[in-house]
Amino acid sequence: MAEPRDVLVDGFGRVREVVHAALRRQTPDDLAWRPAPGANTIGWLVWHLTRVQDDHVADAFDLPQVWTAHGWAERLDLPRPPGDTGYGDTAEQVGALRASADALAGYHDAVHARTVELLAGVDAADLDRIVDTSWDPPVTLGVRLVSVLSDDLQHAGQAAYVRGLARARG
């Protein structure tokens, strides 16, 4: 029987696969293309899903984020405060995000590796640990991880869809 951590690791691995497929052979211009005015770009979607995973997993394990602690904020050099995850971004903020596919993949891989490393020490009982008391009911580690995984899968799918639209336009 699979352990819960193994299922979670598999899920986050699937996110990583979709992220890499969405970024493959994309230029910064490709990553910044919008299918409609105000729509999200591939680059922003990948950055945002990675930032949310980094932020939420780090918080759940009471650790610093990879974004700041491992220098990714400086490497990507985006015009944003260090704690920003892109939640609630305006169309202008989405459009201002410019990064290379290699940089976005590198940051995603670093966050993925950290997530997998942390999940290796999680057992079924750990999933009931309360990680956020600002909600009613309080959020457990299991609920937080599934929430992040769900959000990541949605955004990764959106990035893949935008890539498909971009390819169809020629």
Q: Collect all residues with Cβ–Cβ distance below 8 Å to 94 and sequence separation of at least 6.
A: 38, 40, 41, 44, 86
Question: Helix, strand, coil proportions of the chain in percent (round to 5)?
Answer: 65, 5, 30
Of 6-10, 77-81, 133-137, the range with the lowest mean pLDDT is 77-81
CA atoms within 13 A on the CB side of 78: 29
What gap in Å lies between CA 7 and CA 157, rounded to an integer?
A: 19
Give the residue-averaged pLDDT of 123-137. 95
Range name among 7-11, 74-78, 140-144 with the lowest pLDDT average: 74-78
What pLDDT band is residue 79 in, cutting at 50, 70 and 90? confident
17, two tokens: 């696969």
In the numeric block, which tokens belong to residue 133? 């008391």
CB 106 within 8 A of CB 50: no
Beta pairing class for 139-140 and 130-132: antiparallel
The pTM is what? 0.96
If one counts every other C-beta atom within 10 angstroms of the C-beta of residue 37, the result is 7
The pLDDT score that the predictor gives to residue 74 is: 92
